[in-house]
Amino acid sequence: MSEVLFSGKEITIVEHLGILFAICTTFCWSFGIFPFTEGAKRFGSAALNQYRLFLAWIIITILACLFLSKSPFQLFLEPSAYNFIYLGLSGFIGFTIGDFFTFNSFRLLGPKLSSVYTTIAPCSALFFGYMFLDEEFNLTGIGGILLTVSGVIWLTLSKKDTNASISKGYVHNTSGILAGIAGAVCQGLGLVLSKVGFGEAGTQQIEAIHAVWIRLLFAFSAAMILAFLMGKFKENARIVLKNQNGGIKYMLLGTFLGPVCGVTCSLLAITHLKVAEAQTIFALLPILVLPLNYFINKEKITLNSVFAVLLAVSGVFVLIWREEIQKWI
């Protein structure tokens, strides 16, 4: 019996595998929000981001050497300057800056509200893709952005959800909201720069896991340099080495679920699926976070939060499938 994927075509065993990897990715990223939230509370966003990037880079280095059958020296020597420039910039903006803001959002707002801001990232990617990659920006795409922003605003202004988060020790302030938006915008721009950095015509194309390795290399290096320039290097190192408030276990778990398992599964997913199909499944993250947040943090699920998240996610779906939807109109 045939089965149908998003575009209406029959799906193969290979695509079934891609769907499975995409679902695993979404679960990894959804679960990863919670240890990173706890880690940010204990270490602070800067120290957490700095050392989880370093840890993730070490693990990805091992995986890249195993899967690509390359030595660490080859990982450094084979990419072109073009790859290093754009992927390095992508890692700096997406991981170093973007995740710093995202962790601040997790710490201040809690998983439920901060997760819905992740839906802004595809909107950001569309805007910067239009600016730098000449990607199509049609009315359907604009409609998707408006749907997503409406869902985000709805949940942000919900008094019931605000009170539920405050009762669990989180705050609902402008700093957390701006951090969530800034993190998502940086992630969208980082994604576009990453796509550029994979290689255009006449430049060297590299494997996806190698691209992630470059992004992490520049991301953790930039985080270390920034900490040194701001006079926070010793303090951040002391916080982690001292295992302040028992934060290491949360950093390790978050790193394993996010940059390691999540990224690896996402790469496997887009190998077996079209990127748009994989992104559609990835966009389900805020929907998964709602029940997870209820079971882990015992934070009440309100009707407002359900409808707001569904509205935001539906906007992402419209955004991802804007070209196909435009053909039907």
pLDDT of residue 108: 93
Nearest to 117 by CA among 289, 251, 256: 289
- Cβ atoms of 133 and 70 within 8 Å: the answer is no
- Cβ atoms of 322 and 136 within 8 Å: the answer is yes
pLDDT of residue 199: 61
pTM: 0.86
Burial 212-237 (b: 16+ CB within 10 A, else e): bbbbbbbbbbbbbebbeeeebbeebe
| Close Cβ partners of 149 (under 8 Å, ≥ 6 residues apart) | 120, 123, 315
- Alpha-carbon distance 38 to 287, whole Å? 20
State the burial class of residue 37 (Cβ atoms within 10 Å of its Cβ: 0-12, 13-18, 19+): buried
Nearest to 118 by CA among 293, 289, 301, 291: 289
pLDDT of residue 13: 64
CB atoms within 10 A of CB 139: 10
Nearest to 298 by CA among 133, 110, 157: 110
pLDDT of residue 6: 45
pLDDT of residue 296: 92
**Residue 199 backbone phi and psi in degrees, to 5:** 125, 125
pLDDT of residue 3: 46
pLDDT of residue 14: 60
pLDDT of residue 101: 96
State the burial class of residue 26 (Cβ atoms within 10 Å of its Cβ: 0-12, 13-18, 19+): buried
3-state secondary structure 282-298: HCCHHHHHHHHHHHHHC
| Close Cβ partners of 83 (under 8 Å, ≥ 6 residues apart) | 197, 198, 199, 203, 204, 206, 211, 214
| Close Cβ partners of 302 (under 8 Å, ≥ 6 residues apart) | 158, 160, 161, 164
- Alpha-carbon distance 102 to 32, whole Å? 13
| Close Cβ partners of 204 (under 8 Å, ≥ 6 residues apart) | 78, 79, 80, 82, 83
**Residue 80 backbone phi and psi in degrees, to 5:** -85, 170
pLDDT, mean of each 10-residue run, the chain (329 residues): 46 71 91 95 94 94 92 91 91 94 93 90 85 79 90 89 86 91 92 76 67 93 95 94 94 91 80 71 89 90 91 89 80
Using CA atoms, how far residue 40 sits from 48, 271, 299, in Å, is 6, 33, 19
pLDDT of residue 1: 36
Residue in the block written with tokens 């938006």: 181
pLDDT of residue 276: 64
- Cβ atoms of 110 and 165 within 8 Å: the answer is yes
| Close Cβ partners of 301 (under 8 Å, ≥ 6 residues apart) | 290, 291, 293, 294
pLDDT of residue 202: 41
